Structure formats: C-alpha cells, structure tokens
Amino acid sequence: MVPLMRNLLIALVLLPLLSGCVSSRIEQSRDSSTGIESDEAIVLLGRASYNDKQTEESFTECIADVLGGGDNPIRMIGQNQFRDDLYPWFEPRTAPTSADELGRLFTEPGVKERIASVNVRYLAWIDGDTVTIDKGGSMSCTISTFGGGCFGMSYWEEDASYEAAIWDLKTMTSTGQISADANGTSYLAGLIIPIPILARPENAACKGLANQLREFIVGET
C-alpha cells in the first residue's frame, strides 16, 4: 500500500505542472501571385499510396473545415467528388502519388478541360504524417478487496509534419508550398483513474497550415 500512496502523492504534485504543450512552425515559399473569386473552389488531395503510407483523410478534412468556415469561407470541393469528376485519372492504378506526378498528369489530353468544367481554381496536394518519436514512464493498475485504481505516469512525444503544394488549375502552374511542423508531448496520469493530458500536435499543424493556406490563396503578393 505504501508504494501506491507514494505514487499517488507524486502524481498529485506533478499534475498541476503538466500540460499538453505544443510548439509549431509554419513556413511558405511563393512562386506566383494568387487570388480567388467567390464562385471558384479549392480541392485538397492527400497523398495516396496504395502500397505505402498515405496522408490521413482526417487531416485533409480538418483543413477543409477550417477553410470552409469562419467569417470568410472558401468554397471547397471534396476530394472524393474531385476524383469522380476526373475519372479515370484518379483510379488506384493511375492516380498520382506525389506532387511531381500530379504536374505530369496536368499535361494529359483532356485533363485541363475536365478541371475547367467543375470550376476548381486551386489544388493543394497535402503530404505528411504524425509519428511518435519518444515515449516512457510507467503505470500500474491494481484491484483488491479494498478497491483499486491506476497509479503512475506515462508520456509520449509526437511530431506532426505536413506540406501543401499549391497548384493554380487555371494556368496549370505551381504557385508555391507551405509547410507546417508541430511537436507536442502528451501525458497519462494515474490518479486512481487514468487522466489523459493530450497535446494534439496534428490538430495544431492542421490549423496552422489551413490559416496560412487561406492567406496564401486570398493574398495578391
């Protein structure tokens, strides 16, 4: 019982000092000026590799929610709808798996005309993922005739790194790139019941990338 009480006291002391802290960095490079009309739309495509990693659909959906909401919403086209509109170029066996392959796709006969018919002005190719880079600590859970609980502390550090390559589909040229990196450490504190303290670096990377993408698209410089 003494070790359990000691762990409980340690956790009670440390808990107020812990928070899911996230540090993030946003960078961009611009190749040409941009702008968008109210009837024009943006589509976000996550990297799709059918035999390796792929960008999480939840991440592109998060960016789309930010861009399509707020005081100055931008019209969004869902990636599934866009793939259907551009059938058969985005079928699994022929779909591009990188920004370079996407550029080559735009030179295919009929692609430019098909894109013009759906009035999509910009395409943002989203590439990246979130990985766990460190973890540690310990936690034990016990059950006895006097009750039970979980005691101890564990942590895990995650790094979210994503990049958006932006294409102007009116001119079929690359307009620039935006990168977002976020790092955060989450904790699970055992105070009889497990208490998670989450950093959510992927969410920070999503909001940072989305807000910068909005400024990039709407801006004129």
pLDDT tens for 54-107 read 567 889 999 999 999 988 899 999 988 988 888 888 877 778 888 788 888 888
As a whole number, the mean pLDDT across the chain is 83
pLDDT score at 189: 79
In Å, what is the CA distance from 190 to each residue of 144, 195, 199? 17, 6, 17
155 versus 221: which is more confidently predicted? 155
pLDDT of residue 105: 85
Separation between Cα atoms, residue 168 and residue 165, nearest integer Å: 10
Would you say residue 196 has pLDDT above 70? yes
Name the residue among 121, 157, 145 with its Cα closest to residue 36: 121
pLDDT of 157 reads 93
pLDDT for the residue numbered 102: 82
The token pair at 15 is 């808990």
According to the model, what pLDDT value does residue 92 have? 73
Share of the chain above pLDDT 70, in %: 83
Please, which pLDDT band fits residue 13 given cuts at 50, 70 and 90?
Answer: low
Coil, helix or strand at residue 56: coil
Strand, helix or coil for residue 67: helix
Query: In the numeric block, which tokens belong to residue 143?
Result: 């059950």
The model's pTM is: 0.80
The Cα–Cα gap between 87 and 99 comes to: 19
| Cβ–Cβ < 8 Å for 67, 76 | yes
Rounded CA-CA distance 125/43 in Å is 9
Contacts of 214 (CB under 8 A, 6+ apart): 66, 67, 72, 74
